[in-house]
Amino acid sequence: MNYPKDFSLQGKVALVTGAAYGIGFAIATAFAQAGAKIAFNCRSQKHLDQALADYKKLGIKATGYISDVTDEAQVNKLVADIAKDLGTIDILVNNAGIIKRIPMCEMKVEDFRQVIDIDLNAPFIVSKAVIPGMIKKGHGKIINICSMMSELGRETVSAYAAAKGGLKMLTRNICSEYGYANIQCNGIGPGYIATPQTAPLRTPGNPFNSFILAKTPANRWGTPEDLQGPAVFLASDASNFVNGHILYVDGGILAYIGKQP
Ligand code: NAP
Ligand code: GCO
């Protein structure tokens, strides 16, 4: 191994979807620190403007685009614009995602469909748009942000668990279909991470908070920064023979029965 060069992303073009804040922002920041040129997208101009200012505060020149990952025409334009502005994408992180916490029998079909659309259909749409350029370049890295719910269920998250379970298998299928082209497709399965998406679960006195701490050997919520090293590893040449793997970054939740009350 050529250390640390194999862990460098110098000269690479990375697209992190939904990286205006939260996990995506942390991963894009780490990629920039490892030398990559960063592109990100989101749907809201307000989020985009705030994100550009936040990246700049960290000394990072990120390029942001308003683009809805569920819209194939917008995604194809996004990929073409990035190719014009920065170059052909070498690294794709399918990070954009939502959750709706509603008991299944009370959930409207359109709510279920929206979660599947953003969390599962969109990684298909974006990967389909990016893979041809990776094949031409002779290499590529795709990282799908999965979840504990790629392996486990819980009340009120039926759509999200179905999407993230599907995303695990989409990851394995992209690995299977495009490994010949030197494209590695892996997943990162974050545990419970303190971001806006989980803010409702972390309100003071919320019993879910103590529940998660009891289920986590590390006895703490994860931070977006906990995902940075694993993401750089999977985006770098150091992982060129790692393919179809879901790397769980969960503080040990999946290995642990939970602290005795
Ligand atoms: P978050 O704080 O809610 O951020 C989600 C990001 O996705 C935002 O930038 C949002 O920006 C963007 N987005 C949502 N829908 C979009 C769409 N249709 N097109 C483009 N951008 C879109 O979420 P997070 O906690 O950072 O989670 C990021 C990813 O990690 C998600 O896939 C989530 O399922 C997964 N994850 C999270 C946790 C956790 O504990 N937080 C754990 C495991 C997995 P706009 O709203 O402006 O579009
Ligand atoms: C929930 C949480 C989880 C986390 C994450 C865990 O409501 O249970 O939002 O789904 O977001 O996906 O890995």
Domain range list for the chain: 5-251
> How many Å lie between the centroid of ligand 2 and the Cα of residue 3?
35
With a 6 Å cutoff on the Cβ, whether 191 touches ligand 2 is yes
Which residue type is seen at 115?
A: V
With a 6 Å cutoff on the Cβ, whether 100 touches ligand 1 is no
> How many Å lie between the centroid of ligand 1 and the Cα of residue 118?
9
With a 6 Å cutoff on the Cβ, whether 259 touches ligand 2 is no
Catalytic residue set: 160
Nearest residue by C-alpha to atom 32 in ligand 1: 97
202 phi, psi to nearest 5 deg: -110, 15
Nearest ligand to residue 23 Cα: 1
Residue among 57, 63, 50, 59 at smallest CA distance from 22: 50
Q: Measuring CA to CA, how many Å separate 110 from each of 99, 106, 107?
A: 13, 12, 8
pLDDT for 2 equals 87
What pTM, to 2 d.p., does this model score? 0.98
pLDDT for 164 equals 99
Which fold, 5-251? Rossmann fold (3.40.50)
- pLDDT-flagged residues of the chain (< 50): none
pLDDT for 147 equals 98
Which residue type is seen at 189?
A: G
> How many Å lie between the centroid of ligand 2 and the Cα of residue 190?
9
pLDDT for 136 equals 98
pLDDT for 118 equals 98
Nearest residue by C-alpha to atom 3 in ligand 2: 192
Tell me the C-alpha distance between 156 and 240, whole Å. Answer: 38
pLDDT for 4 equals 87
Tell me the C-alpha distance between 94 and 79, whole Å. Answer: 13
Tell me the C-alpha distance between 188 and 51, whole Å. Answer: 23
With a 6 Å cutoff on the Cβ, whether 123 touches ligand 2 is no
User: Could you tell me which residues come within 8 angstroms of residue 148 by beta carbon, excluding any fewer than 6 positions away?
Assistant: 189, 190, 191, 192, 248, 250, 253, 254
With a 6 Å cutoff on the Cβ, whether 96 touches ligand 1 is yes
Token reading at 221 = 């919520």
> How many Å lie between the centroid of ligand 1 and the Cα of residue 120?
12
∠ at Cα 142 (137, 148), nearest 5°? 175
Nearest residue by C-alpha to atom 39 in ligand 1: 193
Nearest residue by C-alpha to atom 12 in ligand 2: 147
- Tell me the residue ranges of DSSP E strands in the chain: 13-17, 37-42, 62-66, 91-94, 140-145, 183-190, 246-249
The tens digit of pLDDT for each residue in 6-25 reads 999 999 999 999 999 999 99
